[in-house]
């Protein structure tokens, strides 16, 4: 079929074929030719229907030229004539010798003849054969595969190994991988005795891989710790514990650590404060007891990078030290305290997450009264000069209901913790005497946010830091 004629000649070529049904095979030659025109117009009606420019339909059957002028039509031809009224076209006779494209598609060629290609070679789909595989097949005629080559793999002769490694390593489908992935990618199809050695030499000398690979070694240079302060509460570290279960409007803990004595101060807050609110809380609860510090170390949260925070500290004469995203170890002391606070509250509030604020003073007291490995003494000893005695709650009645009730709650928590520890010890003892199955224990880690396990903990609870043992 010839395309529409516009201002310039536009030739759009496409092929359409359809097998005739059993009834259509009984049509005479004229109806078959006319059926081909009907089917072609139906298939390409989205291009031809409604066009004001006439188009040509070439046919090698001359009788079709008079179809529109015929006065007597069969019911089938009359139905097709009504269909043709939707298009503006002209049926024109064209001998089969000149109508090469349609004539070639409609003929059955003998097997001995080579059919004329109607479509160009660029439009043909053929099986993909890699050039390297063809080169390997040619070279193997002169260098046959040795018997030591693994079965199911193609032996690569020495003359094509460098090209094969280059193609595997630099191909976008692999993306300049390391030595191990390159070896495994090659070993799946090819093989030769020195494959791993050759890949190691090539990948080690690849400049693109050396420039783009992610570093896996320890940080360069030596660690330089922060300077040691000369007195207590002169250099502080500040951080937040966030997303805690709501209790009396409190969902956040402001953690303040003295870098000299390792003493800490835990302050519950209704949420993440602004820079001005953070400065006011520090001044109200820390500065008025221990004096204005010289330096405060913090992360790069919005409270500590704002101009309000810097201006407030500048007026007080306090220097602001911000940690880097690639070096959070600079504020490692407060991160360790965050972990200990989470451990303490999980120990006593795991089944009662809504009471964590009641145990916060106890957590601060415990952390400040325990021996610290860095100073060789407790924070209380370092700041106050003496160690407070431990005063555990006893089950005796004091005559004050409020005190007795608080003591019973703390004593009950201690008893539940001791009972749980004893049960865990018994289970561990039984496991040691039996055959140990292979378990995988997944650690969720510790950080400044609470961890949740949807399948084991209710929403807003203090889950355990480790879940397991879990069977693989």
Q: What is the pLDDT along the chain (472 residues), one digit of tens a residue?
A: 443 333 334 455 566 667 778 888 788 877 877 888 888 888 888 777 877 778 777 777 776 766 666 767 788 888 888 888 788 877 777 776 666 666 665 665 555 566 666 777 677 665 555 677 888 888 877 777 776 677 778 888 888 889 899 888 888 877 888 898 899 888 888 888 889 999 999 999 988 888 888 777 776 666 667 788 888 999 999 999 888 888 888 889 999 999 889 999 999 999 999 999 999 999 999 999 999 999 999 888 898 999 999 999 999 999 998 887 666 566 778 888 888 888 888 877 777 777 788 888 888 888 888 888 888 888 888 888 888 876 554 545 555 665 566 556 555 544 554 454 445 445 554 554 444 444 444 444 433 333 444 444 444 545 555 444 444 3
Q: What is the dihedral of CA 378, 382, 383, 386, to 10 degrees?
A: 70
pLDDT for 236: 93
Q: Which helix H or strand E contains 199, and what residues bound it?
A: helix 195-204
Contacting residues for 99 by C-beta, under 8 A, at least 6 apart: 58, 60
Give dist(CA 340, CA 162) in Å, integer.
56
Distance, first Cα to last Cα, the chain: 66
| Neighbouring residues of 241: CB distance < 8 A, sequence distance ≥ 6 | 252, 253, 255, 338, 341, 342, 448, 449
Residue with the two structure tokens 């903990």: 457
In this predicted structure, what is the pLDDT of residue 69? 66
pTM: 0.46
* Residue 215, pLDDT score: 75
CA distances from 177 to 60, 87, 199, 203, 205 (A): 62, 60, 11, 8, 13
pLDDT at 447: 38
Query: Which pLDDT score is estimated for 170?
Result: 86
Q: Are 408 and 397 in contact (CB under 8 A)?
A: no
The CATH topology of domain 135-212 is Endonuclease III; domain 1 (1.10.340)
Distances (CA, A) of 124 to 18, 101, 130, 237: 21, 17, 17, 71
The structural domains of the chain, with segments of one domain joined by +, span: 24-122, 135-212, 235-384
Nearest to 359 by CA among 377, 344, 372: 344
Q: Which residue has the tokens 């004595």?
A: 261
> 235-384 maps to which CATH number?
3.30.420.10
Please give the Cα distance from 397 to 55 (Å, whole number).
Answer: 108
Q: Is there a contact between 109 and 118 (Cβ–Cβ < 8 Å)?
A: no
């Amino acid at each position: 079929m010839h395309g529409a004629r516009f201002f310039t000649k536009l030739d759009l070529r496409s092929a359409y074929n359809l097998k005739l049904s059993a009834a259509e095979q009984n049509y005479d030659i004229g109806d078959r030719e006319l059926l081909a025109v009907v089917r072609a117009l139906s298939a390409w009606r989205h291009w031809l229907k409604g066009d004001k420019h006439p188009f040509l339909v070439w046919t090698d059957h001359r009788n079709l030229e008079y179809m529109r002028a015929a006065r007597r039509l069969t019911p089938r031809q009359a139905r097709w004539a009504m269909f043709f009224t939707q298009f503006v076209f002209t049926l024109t006779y064209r001998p089969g010798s000149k109508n090469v494209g349609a004539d070639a598609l409609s003929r059955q060629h003998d097997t001995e003849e080579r059919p004329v290609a109607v479509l160009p070679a660029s439009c043909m789909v053929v099986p993909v054969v890699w050039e390297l595989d063809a080169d390997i097949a040619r070279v193997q005629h002169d260098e046959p595969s040795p018997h030591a080559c693994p079965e199911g793999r193609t032996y690569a002769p020495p003359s094509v190994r460098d090209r094969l490694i280059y193609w595997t390593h630099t191909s976008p489908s692999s993306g300049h991988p390391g030595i191990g992935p390159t070896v495994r990618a090659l070993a799946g199809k090819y093989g030769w005795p020195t494959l791993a050695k050759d890949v190691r030499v090539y990948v080690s000398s690849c400049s693109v891989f050396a420039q783009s690979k992610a570093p896996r070694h320890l940080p360069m240079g030596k660690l330089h710790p922060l300077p040691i302060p000369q007195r207590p509460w002169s250099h502080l570290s500040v951080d937040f514990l966030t997303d805690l279960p709501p209790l009396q409007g409190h969902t956040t803990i402001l953690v303040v650590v003295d870098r000299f004595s390792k003493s800490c101060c835990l302050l519950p807050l209704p949420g993440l404060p602004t820079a001005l609110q953070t400065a006011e809380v520090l001044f109200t609860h820390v500065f008025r007891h221990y004096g204005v510090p010289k330096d405060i170390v913090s992360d790069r949260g919005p409270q500590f990078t704002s101009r309000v925070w810097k201006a407030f500290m500048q007026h007080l004469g306090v220097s602001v030290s911000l940690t880097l995203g690639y070096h959070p170890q600079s504020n490692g002391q407060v991160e360790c305290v965050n972990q200990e606070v989470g451990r303490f509250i999980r120990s006593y509030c795991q089944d009662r997450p809504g009471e964590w604020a009641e145990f916060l003073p106890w957590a601060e007291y415990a952390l400040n009264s325990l021996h610290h490995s860095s100073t060789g003494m407790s924070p209380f000893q370092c700041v106050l000069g003496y160690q407070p005695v431990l005063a555990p709650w006893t089950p005796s009645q004091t005559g004050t209901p409020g005190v007795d009730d608080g003591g019973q709650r703390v004593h009950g928590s201690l008893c539940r913790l001791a009972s749980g520890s004893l049960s865990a010890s018994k289970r561990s003892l039984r496991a040691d005497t039996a055959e140990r199955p292979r378990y995988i224990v997944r650690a969720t880690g510790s950080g400044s946010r609470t961890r949740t396990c949807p399948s084991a903990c209710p929403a807003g609870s203090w889950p355990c830091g480790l879940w397991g043992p879990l069977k693989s």
